Amino acid sequence: MRRESSIHGQWSSKLVFILAATGSAVGLGNIWRFPYIAGENGGGAFVLIYLACILLIGLPIMMAEIALGRRGRQSPINTMATLSREEGLHRAWGFVGWLGVAAGFIILSYYSVIAGWSLSYVFRAAGGAFTGLDADGVRGMFNALVSDPERLLAWHTLFMIMNVLVVARGVRSGLEKAVKFLMPALFGLLLLLVGYSMSQGHFMEGVSFLFKPDWSEVSGDTILLAMGQAFFTLSLGMGAIMIYGSYLSSKASILKTSATVVSADTAVALLAGLAIFPIVFASGLAPGEGPGLIFITLPMAFAEMPGGLIFGTLFFLLLVTAAWTSSISLMEPAVAWLVENRGFDRPMAAVIVGGIAWFLGLGTILSFSLWSNPIGFSLTIGGEATFIGGTLFEMADYLTSNIMLPLGGLLIALFVGWRMTQRSVEDELGLHSRVLFKAWYYVLRFAAPIGILLVFLKAVNLI
Ligand code: PFF
Ligand code: NA
């Protein structure tokens, strides 16, 4: 059954949906996570596998998620339950919604801490703190920040309050306005940074690191990390895009909007990589610097370039805004459910969700100081001993990006591709071209789920 609107509201236009979904997609995942994970995993091969995952798994699953959301028009938990009933399927499919809500809490808990780092860097940049620093200087500054739990707590708290304020006001006010201005500005600044990187003499080294694959270094885990990054960066597998789809008008084209969001997200990630790696090589740093990578490389660029004070401030400000428009989408599935099923008003629901995620975030804060020793155990699978564990931050990040989101995506592909009737799927997707529909349906039914399964099996050395 087609539903025309959600009780939570509707985007004022198709363009606004694109902006909001792009706002959700483009965030720390592109500018902070993509470069550091690519750097830790050897560059080129990782990037190419990531791009393949975006196209073969990400794009088709994004379309499926939007279609599900728009058909159900409720929080992901209730959308999955309603559609299962409507299609005569087992109610256990509601699990997909719950899995997403759990992933949303865990991601938000650490996302907010990293956004807090960015907030703190806005003020450092504006105060001229980068001036005259070399690689060791910026690294020292970063280490001093992350090993100070009280300061991290203050920034984390501030960022979480910012999220609650926007989410409390609902989908239309606030959010829509922010993204319209943000995306072009962020794009412009990234281009400027790439321009700076080109002038530093190590540009081609950065390019070849990012795009020249060394297949001999690729392990099952590299592939899993690349696929996990594809899910994370596109906000897929946890219901964020699903709920944004539930506010989309029935007339909008799901294919065109998805293709736009995916292209914008990919462009921002690649630009970030092109900006950062040349600076890494020019300053003799290692690409595998870890989560601090952009906080160590970019300040050096801002310290040297003319107008660096202004550009640096603006850059971190835009990074915070990009993180902001992403983290509100992490809250939305749980908030909508609390409103639908527990009778809370939006502000109260936003406070509850923000409060829980804030508390969980303490684990990430301490992961860089008091609790920085990895916890876990050794496991032998397929003849290889592997250490399973890490800091709470590492575990939260690994579990969500590499397991929960792909698992959610797999279940969504199976639900839409194999369990819903083809008629409902076609009806909701509204693709005018038969050929395009068939191609998408085929990829969603076969390529995407088989791909995800193979990557899972390869990661645990079973194939
Ligand atoms: N896509 C966001 C980023 O790249 O920063 C992170 C994210 C947002 C992941 C929303 C998942 C999500 F549901
Ligand atoms: Na992203």
| Residue 385: pLDDT band with limits 50, 70, 90 | confident
* pLDDT(267) > 90: yes
Q: How many residues does the chain have?
A: 463
| Residue 201: pLDDT band with limits 50, 70, 90 | confident
* Distance between CA atoms of residues 434 and 440, nearest Å: 10
Rounded to the nearest angstrom, the gap between the alpha carbon of residue 287 and the centroid of all alpha carbons in its chain is 21
pLDDT (0 to 100) of residue 353: 98
Report which bound ligand comes closest to the CA of 326: 1
* Distance between CA atoms of residues 449 and 14, nearest Å: 29
Q: Which CATH architecture has domain 14-459?
A: Up-down Bundle (1.20)
SS3 335: helix
- Say how many Å lie between the CA of residue 320 and the centre of ligand 1: 13
Q: Which two tokens mark 376?
A: 């876990």
Note whether 336 and 247 are within 8 A (CB). no
**Span 308-321, pLDDT tens digits:** 999 999 999 999 99
Other C-beta atoms within 10 Å of 409: how many?
Answer: 28
- Say how many Å lie between the CA of residue 23 and the centre of ligand 2: 9
Buried residues in 234-250 as b, exposed as e (16+ CB within 10 A):
bbbbbbbbbbbbbbbee
pLDDT (0 to 100) of residue 180: 74
Please report, rounded to a whole number, the percentage of residues in the chain having pLDDT higher than 90: 86
* pLDDT(175) > 70: no
**Span 359-384, pLDDT tens digits:** 999 999 999 999 999 999 998 877 77
| Residue 183: pLDDT band with limits 50, 70, 90 | confident
Q: Is the CB of 325 under 6 A from ligand 1?
A: no
Q: Is the CB of 24 under 6 A from ligand 1?
A: yes
Ligand 1: residue whose CA is nearest its atom 11 = 235
- Say how many Å lie between the CA of residue 133 and the centre of ligand 1: 32
**Span 106-124, pLDDT tens digits:** 999 999 999 999 999 999 9
**Looking at residues 163-183, what average pLDDT do you find?**
78
Ligand 1: residue whose CA is nearest its atom 13 = 235
* pLDDT(186) > 90: no
Ligand 1: residue whose CA is nearest its atom 10 = 235
- Say how many Å lie between the CA of residue 330 and the centre of ligand 1: 7
Burial of 408 (0-12, 13-18, 19+ CB in 10 A): buried
* Distance between CA atoms of residues 431 and 21, nearest Å: 20
Alpha helix positions (H), 305-404: 308-342, 346-366, 392-398
* pLDDT(174) > 80: no
* pLDDT(153) > 90: yes
Please report, rounded to a whole number, the percentage of residues in the chain having pLDDT higher than 70: 98
* Distance between CA atoms of residues 41 and 222, nearest Å: 6
pLDDT (0 to 100) of residue 387: 86
